[in-house]
Each structure stands twice: as C-alpha cells, then as structure tokens.
Amino acid sequence: MVRSPIQTSEGKTHQARELDALVIGAGFSGLYQLLCLRDRLGLSVQVLEAGAGVGGTWYWNRYPGARCDSESHSYCYSFSPELTQEWEWSERYPGPPEILRYLNHVADRFDLKRDIRFNTRVTAAHYDETANRWRVSTEAGETFTTQFLITAVGCLSSANVPNIPGLDAFEGQWYHTGQWPHEDVDFRGKRVGLVGTGSTGIQAAPVIAETAAHLVVFQRTANYSVPARNAPLTTEFKRYIKENAEEIRQVMHSTVNGHPFRIVDRSALETPPKERQALYEAAWATGGLRFRATFRDLLTDNAANETAADFIRAKIREIVKDPETADILSDFDHPYAAKRPPIDTDYFETFNRDNVKLVDVRATPIEEITPRGIRTRDAEYPLDIIVFATGFDGMTGSLLRMDIRGHDGLSLARAWAAGPRNYLGLQVAGFPNMFTVTGPGSPSVLCNMPVAIEQHVEWITDCIAYMRANGLERIEATDESMDEWVAQVNAAAEATVLPQAKHSWYLGANIPGKPRVFMPYAGGMAHYRKICDDVAARNYEGFTLSAARVSDAANKRFN
Ligand SMILES: Cc1cc2nc3c(=O)[nH]c(=O)nc-3n(C[C@H](O)[C@H](O)[C@H](O)COP(=O)(O)OP(=O)(O)OC[C@H]3O[C@@H](n4cnc5c(N)ncnc54)[C@H](O)[C@@H]3O)c2cc1C
C-alpha cells in the first residue's frame, strides 16, 4: 500500500493510505467484496469495520431469541462449491453464534482478516474531483484515499432508539436489540418492558418471558407471524443440501425473493375455500417464510392477501386464550407480508403465560419513561429493564450517518433530502466510483439477502474489471438513468400491496422526519438480476464512463 502526504483542514500534513478500493463494513457484503476485488482483480483493498469482529448484523444482534428467518442452507454464500460442501449447518434457522462461526470460517478460509481494520468507524468520505479519488476519514482521525469506494454498511445496521422523553432519567437498565451487549443480560427476577413487535420483538418476547419475573410487551402495530418450526437438521436433509447444492442455487437465483423454494403458481382467489384452507393449514404446519409462497397473488391482490390475513387472525384467536389480548394481537392495519413478515417460536402462546401482559400503545400511547418504568396515557408500568426492539433507520441510516460528499461538495444527505435516488440501487449521480451494496432501489431486504449481496458484489467486481480492461478510470450514473430507475422502483412497489403498510420501515415511516419513499426494489430478484446484466452487456448503459478525470480533454463518454 502506498502512502502520500495529505493536507488536512487544520493545515497539518499526515500520511494517507492509498488504495484501489476501500470497502466500509465487514458483514456478508464487505467480506465477499474484499475477496472479489483483492483475489480476483488483484486490487489493493482495505475494509474498515466499526465492530471488533466480522459478521455485521450477527455481530451486533445477539438479543435473546435472535435467529435468522432464511433457512440455513440458503443463508450463506453460494459462490464457492467447496465452501458449500465443507460447511454444515446444525438447525433449520441458525442463531448469531452459528452464523458468526460461519462468517469467521469464511474470513479465515479466504485469509480476509489481514485486510480488515476492526474498531474503525468511517465518519466521512469526500470525492476529490481533480485526483478522481475518494478521501475517507475515520473516527480516530486516519485518512485513506481510494479510487473506488464501496459501502457495505448494511440495510439494518443503524439502530433506532425512539426519542421518548425521560429515557435519560430511567433508573433501570435499557438495551436496543441491535446493539446487544456481548455478555449475557440476566432477566431473572426482573420486570422487563419490551417495546416493539416487529420480527425482533416477536423473537425476543418468548425467550425473555421464560426467565423474567414479569414481561410487558408494548405493541404499536399488530403483526402477522407464522411459526418458524425450527429444528435440528436431519442427516437426510444435510445430505440433500450437499447433493443438490447446484439445483438449490438455481432455484434461489430464479425466484423473486432468493429463497430456496418457488412461489406456487396458483391463485388464492381461484382456489376453492376448502382447498385453500387445507393449503394454508399445511403451510402453517411446515412453517417459516414458505407460508408466503402458498399462492402467487398474496402480494399483488388485496382480496387474495385478505385470505391469508383471515387465516392468521383465526390462528391467533385459537392460540391466545384471553379474547381481548387476541383482539389486540390480530388488529392488523396492513396487508399480510407488507411489512417484513416475522416467523416465530411460541410468540402468540407467550401471551397465555401469567407473567406476560400486552399493552396496546396505539390505544394508550407511551407518554414518557419515568425513573421507575414506562408511563402510557392511562398507566405506569414499573420496570427494571427496558428492551427496545424498535428496529433500524433502515436502508439509508448507515449511509447518511457518514458525511459523504461527491461533486462540488454535494452531500449525500442533500442529494437524498426528498428520499433516496440512485441508479439500480448501485450508484448515485454526483458520486463517481462509489457503489452501494444492497443500496435502496435494489431488492435487498425483500430478498434472501446473501443472494442479493452476491449479485451486487459480483456486478461491481465485473464493472471494475471492465473499466480496468478498457482503460477507464471513472464511472458515474447519469441523472436521466437515475430518474428512470426511481420511476421503475415506484412502479414496482405500486404493483404490490407493500406500500399499503403505512408504518413500515420499508417506507422510512419509523423514523421521524424521514421522507416517505418505498425504498427497496419490489420487481423481484431474478428480474432485477437480468436488468443489471443487460446494463452491463450494453457497456454499462446509463452510466458515464471516462478514461480519466472529468476535467481531462480526453474525457470519453461511452453512453
Ligand atoms: C435481526 C435481524 C435478522 C435478520 N434476518 C435475516 C434473514 O433471516 N434473512 C436475510 O436475508 N436477512 C436477514 N437480515 C438482514 C441482514 O442484515 C442481512 O442478511 C445481512 O447480514 C447483511 O449483510 P451486510 O454485510 O450487507 O450488512 P451488515 O451485516 O449490516 O454489516 C454492515 C457492517 O458495516 C459496518 N458499518 C456500518 N457503518 C459503518 C461505518 N461508518 N464505519 C465502519 N463500519 C460501518 C457495521 O458495523 C456492520 O458490521 C436480518 C437482519 C437483522 C437485523
């Protein structure tokens, strides 16, 4: 790695590390991006990671009950047949320890850690037009310069602690599930308040209830959930995974959401009610996200969706003994799966326990946190521990927490003041040579994410390889391509029931002041892959590629 002197704003000179590519984040995305750029293209690459280890989501989210919703044999890389053959998952849905073991195995197997700097938070990245390089600064005051900047910062990595008055004065302990301590939190004998009933709250509640003296669950939005039916993998299934690895990969690459099963090509509305009920019962018994794949029209037709909603409502009423609690749990305000669809282990059953209470904070909003607990409009709940399962500033949070500036000092925050705008979810006009892995505008969180991540990382790698092969130094999305892509992202969302969930983080609705824009691309992973491949095949149509700096007379416009 080369070092060159950098003049800081305070006039001091220090050494900057010069790189071909700098990757921010060492989760699934950052690890694979490092491997591709370093080992396939031979670039000098540095990964900077805020955490003390690899793993991203699974490094930070160690809350009780944390588990993957994707099935283990699909929640992994598929780029290396050897890796697929040598790794063995133990359960249908792995928890953080097992996923971390896997990602550490990958990092060690491909000798990645030597190029990852841990405990290093990036605070700023500024594009220097004249040099055609990004200058990246860390919290500790280090500087790196790089031609390519790749953000692999995660869609769900910016914890959202709600701004409830009084939290500072709370005399107990409080935690956010996305920043969980690495040592165990002891709930024994404690009165615990759990705020939030998204996927995380639904996973955590049953486990906390097992040891806490008392658990109060504060629910704003009633959420659909389907049993996960987690279990150890059988020997036969483990063999099936190995023997059919390539076929499983093909399925994941050709479905709309990257899972290892296809959505059944049958309409809920055209299926006679008795048969439909039997199919839902079978899907409920199988468990997991496969429930969503029972019919093809659940996400595109409200009436079809309502048949799934009715079925889940009836299940909740069957499971939960107290009718009033069952009513609150099933008072849905959005279509099934329009928010991230949770899967659970005994979530609804938990409300039959004597030590668990449900509070409907839509009816009686939380007004403040007192030194003793949480006070809603009509009661105060004394608590020793508060757990915020309130999610993340999704998709854009981690990007906008850095001071990213492109042309003429244009900040990403300003460019996205009305919501994220980019081309293919990969690049923003005004920010040359910067790529966003699983950025807004890509399928990302609507997909089994390792599939989306591998596709993005490989596309970026191929793009840089193409540039190198053709003597090109700079790539930037055009404004026009960005406008067209934003229109496509909106149209894809409007063709589904997804935007109807008005309180969804897909829309940014969980963050006060965040523009309401449906962020992920809902047109399906397989279709999206084809669009990206076609763009590449047409010499990166929609991007401007140039041989050197924009100011150079030799600037060569390719499109
Ligand atoms: C509880 C939970 C459950 C999930 N379950 C599933 C599931 O079942 N299936 C699925 O497909 N997806 C799931 N996801 C989504 C999950 O985030 C992705 O599957 C995947 O882990 C994302 O990998 P990534 O590398 O893109 O991002 P992340 O894993 O989020 O890693 C990003 C890394 O970037 C680092 N970083 C961010 N900003 C900076 C900065 N400024 N400087 C330095 N480092 C920085 C972070 O510390 C983090 O380590 C889940 C997410 C959560 C939170």
CA of 24 from ligand 1 middle (Å) equals: 12
Query: Which ligand 1 atom is at minimum distance from the Cα of 93?
Result: 8
Q: From the CB of 150, is ligand 1 less than 6 Å away?
A: no
Q: From the CB of 443, is ligand 1 less than 6 Å away?
A: no
CA of 366 from ligand 1 middle (Å) equals: 29
Q: Give the other-Cβ count within 10 Å of 295's Cβ.
A: 25
Q: From the CB of 398, is ligand 1 less than 6 Å away?
A: yes
What DSSP string runs through 409-476? G-BHHHHTTTS---BTTTB-TT-TTEEETT-TTSSGGGS-HHHHHHHHHHHHHHHHHHHHHTT--EEE
Ligand 1 atom 19, closest CA: 449
CA of 56 from ligand 1 middle (Å) equals: 5
Q: From the CB of 406, is ligand 1 less than 6 Å away?
A: no
Query: Are 489 and 499 within 8 A, CB to CB?
Result: no
Q: From the CB of 50, is ligand 1 less than 6 Å away?
A: yes
Q: From the CB of 20, is ligand 1 less than 6 Å away?
A: no
CA distances from 432 to 20, 29, 95, 389, 426 (A): 14, 20, 38, 37, 11
pLDDT of residue 5: 52
Task: Provide the token pair at 542.
Answer: 């929609």
Q: From the CB of 75, is ligand 1 less than 6 Å away?
A: yes
Query: Are 226 and 287 within 8 A, CB to CB?
Result: yes
Cα 55 to Cα 59: distance, rounded to the nearest angstrom: 5
Task: Provide the token pair at 4.
Answer: 């060159």
Cα 536 to Cα 533: distance, rounded to the nearest angstrom: 5
Q: From the CB of 226, is ligand 1 less than 6 Å away?
A: no
Cα 146 to Cα 6: distance, rounded to the nearest angstrom: 13
pLDDT of residue 45: 98
pLDDT of residue 3: 55
Q: From the CB of 27, is ligand 1 less than 6 Å away?
A: yes
Q: From the CB of 288, is ligand 1 less than 6 Å away?
A: no
> For residues 213-240, b (16+ Cβ closer than 10 Å) or e, as one string?
ebbbbbbbbbbbbbbbbbeebeeeeeee
- Residue of 463, 450, 369, 332 lying closest to 165 (CA atoms): 369
Ligand 1 atom 26, closest CA: 154
pLDDT of residue 213: 98
Q: From the CB of 157, is ligand 1 less than 6 Å away?
A: yes
Encode 464-529 in three state secondary structure: HHHHHHCCCCEEEECHHHHHHHHHHHHHHHHCCCHHHCCCCHHHCCCCCCCCCCCCCCCCCHHHHH
CA of 47 from ligand 1 middle (Å) equals: 15
CA of 28 from ligand 1 middle (Å) equals: 7
Own/partner pairs for 362-367, CB < 8 Å, 24+ apart? 362/219, 362/220, 362/221, 366/164, 366/195, 366/218, 367/165
CA of 160 from ligand 1 middle (Å) equals: 14
- DSSP class of residue 155 equals S
What DSSP string runs through 29-58? HHHHHHIIIIIIT---EEEE-SSSSS-THH
pLDDT of residue 555: 41
Ligand 1 atom 12, closest CA: 449
Q: From the CB of 448, is ligand 1 less than 6 Å away?
A: yes
What is the model's pTM?
0.95
Cα 115 to Cα 38: distance, rounded to the nearest angstrom: 9
Q: From the CB of 177, is ligand 1 less than 6 Å away?
A: no
pLDDT of residue 10: 44
Ligand 1 atom 25, closest CA: 27
pLDDT of residue 153: 98
Ligand 1 atom 35, closest CA: 25
Query: Which ligand 1 atom is at minimum distance from the Cα of 449?
Result: 11
Ligand 1 atom 33, closest CA: 25
CA 187 to chain centre: 28
Spans of the chain, pLDDT less than 50: 2, 6-13, 550-559
pLDDT of residue 549: 54
39 CB-near residues (< 8 Å, 6+ apart)? 110
Q: 């002891």: which residue's tokens?
A: 186
From 122, 156, 400, 456, mutation site for ligand 1 pocket: most ligand atoms within 8 A of C-beta: 156
Query: Which ligand 1 atom is at minimum distance from the Cα of 437?
Result: 26
Query: Are 85 and 60 within 8 A, CB to CB?
Result: no
pLDDT of residue 15: 63
CA of 152 from ligand 1 middle (Å) equals: 9
Cα 539 to Cα 479: distance, rounded to the nearest angstrom: 17
Query: Are 13 and 21 within 8 A, CB to CB?
Result: no
CA of 154 from ligand 1 middle (Å) equals: 4
**Beta strand 474-477 pairing with 343-344:** unpaired
Burial of 173 (0-12, 13-18, 19+ CB in 10 A): middle
